[in-house]
Amino acid sequence: MALSGTLPTSLMKELPNILGLNNPVTVQESPDRTNIFLKKLHKSKFGDTNEIYESIFKTECDDLKKDPYNYPVTMLFMPLYYISQAAAYLKHLFGDGDITTSCYAVLFSRQDKVVLNTTAEELQMEYPRIRLILTSSVAGMGFDPPSVMRIIHARPPRNLSQYLQDIGRAVEGDKTVLQFFITTKETLPKIFLEFKKT
């Protein structure tokens, strides 16, 4: 058996020969789902990227502040620079706190083990205290807590493989996935060029 979520069409044709398979059965599933929403955000050539990211994370942080108990448990994937800005904004909204009392968590590589473990344990609960998780790719494939209802990718994928990995987080279960593509009119992300090739 061979499994892949990111196999290019050309390699899919060659794979049976490479693996020495005779008369293989191919099961192919489309990543298109009704729970996945793509939103393209245009920025000017000279960049208002900060404003775009700020708009995304401030909307989520403000919604969390309004009603932390009913805010849907959400993983917000962003570049580390914007995670730090969002964390500072959350601290401004909620004041000082720590992982044992907070309704949000920040996950990144080299994060304190106590924060990582507490967040992972909390998200296994049916009604976790932690409702918003700011993260880079550290909480990626294989990290699928049952309490998470929404996944927001505020960083655009750089290629088709990354796109399929991001979207793959939504394939299991009823999670809502919102994928933002932040691009200029002059440059299309590589992902669209790769789609045309396959």
Q: What is the pTM of this model?
A: 0.70
| Local structure of 60: helix, strand or coil | helix
Q: pLDDT for 116-167, tens place per residue?
A: 889 889 989 989 999 999 988 665 555 677 888 888 887 766 666 666 666 6
Q: Read off the pLDDT of residues 49-73 as tens digits, 9 standing for 90 and up.
A: 788 888 889 999 999 999 999 999 9
Residue 167, token pair as written in the block: 């979207």
Written as one letter, the residue type at 162 is: Q
Q: At residue 36, does pLDDT exceed 80? A: no
Tens digits of per-residue pLDDT, 67-123?
A: 999 999 998 888 889 999 999 999 999 998 888 899 999 988 788 889 888 988 998
- H/E segment holding residue 182: strand 176-183
Taking the domain 32-197, which CATH number applies? 3.40.50.300
Among 142, 143, 117, which residue's Cα sits nearest to residue 130? 117
